[in-house]
Amino acid sequence: MRKFIKLSLLTVSLFSLIGCQQVNAHSENDNKGIESKKTEEKTLSYNQYEKLFKNMVKDVKVPGYTLKSSTSDVEVLRLSKDFSFGKREYMTTKGTFNGEQPKSTQESLFYESSNKDRMIIVTIAYTKSFIGNDMASYSVWSDYGLKTSLIDKTDLMTITYKNLIITIIQTNENQVDQGDTQNATRNIVKYLKDYKT
């Protein structure tokens, strides 16, 4: 009888352990599915990206600058495949262009200063991967012993929003005003924070 009880307890214990492991495996898989779904909800679809760009053309203002032009969604940039680690020949969602209506992954807005000596160019690049909302880089080139007559003419900031990469670059005939680039970036960040997809 004792052997039967011990064998029964051992069997029950084994089934309990196996059952717990299966529950844990299901929980881990369920959590991965939830995380994946949350990431998908955070990324913009291509149609949402197009809509966002069109809205930015209408709504985003840069103090002291006027929107002079913007790209259209039918422009496609061809590039050398080695620039993209061998992934694409065109800046399109598929990396190719076969004569169909292209889905360009890069759009730009061009702002000109009121005295016409400076430009701020905002480029929005679409990716399929969630990146997050953050400042990715701010290129400050002073104090490195570089030729100031060259580096003083450009100011560059890069931010990310969901699955987009946004560069804000200022060029100037003489010397950039970093405050202008920073104000443009602040306005874009505020716009994106308030934007409803």
User: pLDDT per residue over 38-95, tens digit each?
Assistant: 555 689 999 999 999 999 999 999 999 999 999 976 678 888 888 889 888 888 888 8
Tell me the per-residue pLDDT of 93-148, one tens digit each, with 9 for 90 and over: 888 887 777 788 999 999 999 999 999 999 999 999 999 999 999 987 777 788 88
Does one domain contain both 121 and 186?
A: yes
Residues 29 and 51 in one domain: no
pLDDT attached to residue 150: 82
pLDDT at site 141: 74
Q: 145 with 81, same domain?
A: yes
Contact status, residue 163 vs residue 40, Cβ threshold 8 Å: no
Q: For tokens 């992954």, what's the residue?
A: 105
Mean pLDDT for 169-193 is: 94
4 has a pLDDT exceeding 50: no
- 37 and 60 inside one domain: no
The alpha carbon dihedral of 56, 59, 64, 70 has a sign of positive
CATH code for the domain of 58: 3.40.1000
The whole domain housing 19 covers: 1-42
Q: Does 147 share its domain with 123?
A: yes
Same-domain pairing of 121 and 27? no
Residues 144 and 88 in one domain: yes
For residue 4, report the phi and psi dihedrals to the nearest 5 degrees: -65, -45
Give buried/exposed letters for 65-86 (b at 16+ CB in 10 A, else e).
bebeebbeeeeeeeeeeeeeee
Query: Same structural domain for residues 53 and 133?
Result: yes
Number of domains, the chain: 2
Place of tokens 């990469």: 165
Asked if residues 164 and 127 have their Cβ atoms less than 8 Å apart, the reply is yes
